[in-house]
Chains A and B, each alone.
Chain A
Amino acid sequence: MNGIIEINNLHRRYGETVALRGISLRIKKGEMFGFVGPDGAGKTTTIRIMCGLLNPGEGTVRLFDEDILEKRNVIQKRIGYLSQKFSLYGDLTVDENIEFFAEIHNVTDYKRRRDELLEFTRLKPFRKRLAEKLSGGMKQKLALACSLIHKPEILFLDEPTTGVDPVSRRDFWKILADLIKEKITIVMATPYLDEAERCSRVAMFNNGEIITCDTPDNIKKSIGLMSLEIVCKPIKVAYELLSSEINNDIQLFGDRINVLVKSQGETDSILRILNSGNVEVVDRRLTEPSIENVFMNLIKHRKLNG
């Protein structure tokens, strides 16, 4: 079966700057698909091209088996888009915003759908409030409600939770989980790697390319490394010692150090180095690497390989 979204060898440049250098993707119906990667990696450009807001440079982009360049208008009726920037009318109320977006999407009988969405996003108590008076999290939920008013089959979210407090972020994810149950396909760009773990599949963007694309679990397994977490003191000394002695990925988190290791043998040698440097190891634990670990590792290897 074909994917609901098919991207083939997509290139895009902005003048001299190359934004995308050959992206290929196939996203299936009902997926919760995540785009992760640093700013400027090409996530937003890819999403905007899929929404028909930018033309592809080279390559093809097909949604619902139709080419975006040929059937832009038809495709746009079946998708929802939530941009990075807050793009609602701050001087309209919650109700009025939804009403407006319903009408410009040709949804004439929107009253029930609006109530449903307000219920769904828990914005019902605020329906008479001006959008600009809402908190950041509520604004994003309202924007989501507006982009869902015409029952899109694919929802594109460009960093919807950036700048949103953790509680609202969790709320937002609950709503997304409900949407997935309704068989909506979601494509979401996020700078938060913990959010990536909630996706069914993740594409890691770096410098205009996809460096890996798989389920979070497979991605973690793919590098064949484990994460060794060491709680020790003095932590600064330990970090400097390890950085000079071994070549592994090392990250410092407050009172603990994270090292990517291949085997039990490596763990032992690391502990030996720490002991010889008079570092007291309080606790240690071998876990599955986080998406963040993997991402850092992959980028580092790409740099090393040129």
Chain B
Amino acid sequence: MLNRIKAIAVKETRQLLRDVRMMGVIFLFPVFLLVVFGYAINFDVQHIQLSVLDRDNSPESREFINSLLSTDYFDLVTYLKSDREIREFLDRKKAQCIAVIPSNFSNEIYRNEVAKIQFLIDGVDGNTATIIMNYVNAAVASYSNNLNYEFLSSRGIKLSSSVSLEPRFWFNPDLNSTRFLIPGLIGMILIIIAVVTISLSIVREKERGTIEQLNVSSIKIPELLTGKAIPYIVIAFINAGIILAAGYLFFGIEVKGSYLWLLISTLFFLAASIGIGILVSVIADSLQVAFLAGTLISLLPSMLLSGFVFPIESMPYVIRIFSNVTPTKFYIVCLRSILLKGAGIEVFWEQLLYMVIFTVIVVVAASKIYNKKQLKELSS
């Protein structure tokens, strides 16, 4: 039995090493995704384009504007001169937000009345708009705090310490979204590579007719599948290594937890992914169908339903149930625990269990469908 598994694995490796295009896809695709997700897709909001229409032009108004610009969050585009320009700047996306300071701004402050500032935000991207609003609110709060402080101390009243919030973000102190994305990215790349390569390699046997020669030989289906899975598991591990190394080099992400658990949970995840690949290969009869089905089945759910980008907790109940169609969901929990939190098995053992259950379901489904198809083929 071991002999036959070895024969298949050796054969598969030889074929793979000679398939330059496939090797290219396998090793360049992860790098491509990493660059796209690591650099291009960034959910952090910084360097917001701010324009100002300062009708007051007083030391107070300039001080307020400087308090915004002294952070990394806002970049000044230009000072506007008239109302007309407001519309133009927002329409043409020359600015993401515009502060309009009324001409009586400093007067109101001196009269101890509520000084109003109009703040116009481009609300097309609701998420970013909300974040901008939060930044501005904080800036305004701190600005008026300072005013109060000055006002009171000018009258000889010493302000006793007020309540102040000191937030600390654990596991991802600067709320860097890349740090949050990398684990999901590893999961997504591994599942695509595993599903597509294994299903293509099985369907290729069907398409070329070599499966017939295997059918008349002594080899059994589990031996065939094990033999085929071995080289692709090795490849997937190499891929995982590349992504981790790149994550460390480019984004400073270190593995905080144990490498052993990282290895074990990855192995569980790959088993589940290969299960999906086998299911795809049973259903698909041509390479095109296999490639398309493999990519869709692995890519879409791990992108949308796994918690990679969109948190599962905020999904509707039905969708949350539906999110179990991808093992990436479970794997991401393991990865975030190990990579970012440095947590141990006690945190994610359930996820390992779910992956085992997932694998069993998929493989059983695949063999049921295979038997049905085989029976149909043998006797229809």
A interface vs B, CB < 8 Å?
14-15, 51-55, 57, 73, 76-77, 79-81, 83, 85-92, 96, 99-101, 103-106, 108, 130, 146-147
On whether the beta carbons of A76 and B14 are closer than 8 Å, the reply is no
Give Cα A28 to B258, complex, Å.
67
Give Cα A80 to B216, complex, Å.
8
Residues of A within 8 A of B216 (CB): 51-53, 76, 79-81
In the complex, residue of chain B having the shortest beta-carbon distance to the beta carbon of A52:
B216
| Binding stretch for chain A, among B1-9, B38-46, B154-162 | B1-9
Summarize B's interface: helix, strand, loop or mixed.
Answer: helix
On whether the beta carbons of B209 and A83 are closer than 8 Å, the reply is yes
On whether the beta carbons of A103 and B7 are closer than 8 Å, the reply is yes
On whether the beta carbons of B212 and A103 are closer than 8 Å, the reply is no
Give Cα A91 to B14, complex, Å.
8
On whether the beta carbons of A108 and B3 are closer than 8 Å, the reply is yes
Tell me, yes or no, whether B111 is within 8 Å of chain A by CB.
no
**Extra A-B contacts (5), CB below 8 Å, given A99-B7, A104-B218, A105-B218:** A55-B379, A87-B208, A104-B7, A104-B217, A105-B217
Residues of A within 8 A of B82 (CB): none
10 contacts between A and B (CB under 8 A): A53-B212, A53-B378, A55-B378, A55-B379, A77-B218, A85-B209, A91-B15, A96-B14, A103-B4, A105-B218
Residues of A within 8 A of B14 (CB): 91-92, 96
Residues of A within 8 A of B3 (CB): 103, 106, 108
B210-257, CB < 8 A from A = 210, 212-219
Residues of A within 8 A of B19 (CB): 91
On whether the beta carbons of A100 and B11 are closer than 8 Å, the reply is yes
Tell me, yes or no, whether B164 is within 8 Å of chain A by CB.
no
Summarize A's interface: helix, strand, loop or mixed.
Answer: loop
Residues of A within 8 A of B217 (CB): 76, 101, 104-105
Q: How far is the CB of A27 from chain B (nearest CB, A)?
A: 18
Q: How far is the CB of A88 from chain B (nearest CB, A)?
A: 7
Known A-B contacts A54-B378, A87-B208, A91-B19; A106 and B213 likewise in contact (beta carbons under 8 Å) = no
Give Cα A57 to B14, complex, Å.
40
Give Cα A101 to B214, complex, Å.
9
On whether the beta carbons of A101 and B213 are closer than 8 Å, the reply is yes
Tell me, yes or no, whether B314 is within 8 Å of chain A by CB.
no
Q: How far is the CB of B60 from chain A (nearest CB, A)?
A: 76
Tell me, yes or no, whether B18 is within 8 Å of chain A by CB.
yes
Q: Name the 9 nearest CB pairs between A and B, nearest first.
A: A103-B7, A85-B209, A55-B379, A55-B378, A87-B209, A104-B217, A104-B219, A81-B216, A100-B11
In the complex, residue of chain B having the shortest beta-carbon distance to the beta carbon of A80:
B216
Give Cα A155 to B8, complex, Å.
24
Give Cα A99 to B11, complex, Å.
9
In the complex, residue of chain A having the shortest beta-carbon distance to the beta carbon of B4:
A104
In the complex, residue of chain A having the shortest beta-carbon distance to the beta carbon of B19:
A91
Residues of A within 8 A of B209 (CB): 83, 85-87
In the complex, residue of chain A having the shortest beta-carbon distance to the beta carbon of B6:
A103
Tell me, yes or no, whether B127 is within 8 Å of chain A by CB.
no
Q: How far is the CB of B92 from chain A (nearest CB, A)?
A: 56
Residues of B within 8 A of A100 (CB): 7, 10-11
Contact with A104, one of B8, B15, B18 (Cβ below 8 angstroms): B8
Residues of B within 8 A of A99 (CB): 7
In the complex, residue of chain B having the shortest beta-carbon distance to the beta carbon of A15:
B380
Residues of B within 8 A of A147 (CB): 213
Give Cα A286 to B6, complex, Å.
63
Give Cα A34 to B331, complex, Å.
59
On whether the beta carbons of A83 and B212 are closer than 8 Å, the reply is yes
Give Cα A100 to B378, complex, Å.
26
Residues of B within 8 A of A77 (CB): 218
On whether the beta carbons of A83 and B213 are closer than 8 Å, the reply is yes
Residues of B within 8 A of A15 (CB): 380
On whether the beta carbons of B11 and A96 are closer than 8 Å, the reply is yes
Known A-B contacts A55-B379, A106-B3; A89 and B15 likewise in contact (beta carbons under 8 Å) = yes
Residues of B within 8 A of A146 (CB): 213
Give Cα A53 to B3, complex, Å.
24
Residues of B within 8 A of A87 (CB): 208-210, 212-213
On whether the beta carbons of B380 and A14 are closer than 8 Å, the reply is yes
B362-380, CB < 8 A from A = 377-380
